[in-house]
Amino acid sequence: MIRQGEGISFNKTIKKLLEESLGLKPKGKDNRKKDFLDIFGVWSDEEACEFDRTTKEFEKIDPEDWC
């Protein structure tokens, strides 16, 4: 967001507004994760725990696989 008295030129102000409105530059420190929640979804704590529990075995390294 551009505020009066930021000390930047009119040209830079216009360029900054265009970049933000066209999505070329994020507005401030906005959390962009919320823009993708409908694509990726959100897990509940229970679902995350279940995933961790069922994939725990993939963390083990079997030395015979590397011989």
Rounded Cα gap, residues 21 and 26, in angstroms: 9
Is residue 56's pLDDT more than 90? yes
Question: Which spans in the chain are helix H?
Answer: 10-21, 37-40, 45-55
Domain range spanning residue 37? 29-60
| Distance in angstroms (rounded) separating the CA atoms of residues 6 and 17 | 14
Q: Does 48 reside within a domain?
A: yes
Residue 43 domain-assigned? yes
The number of folded domains in the chain is 1
* 46 in any annotated domain: yes
- Mean pLDDT (whole number) for 24-31: 64
Type of residue at 51: F
The answer to whether residue 47 sits within a structural domain is: yes
Evaluate whether residue 17 is within a structural domain. Answer: no
**For residue 19, is it within any domain?**
no
- Per-residue pLDDT tens over the stretch 33-53: 777 777 887 888 999 999 999
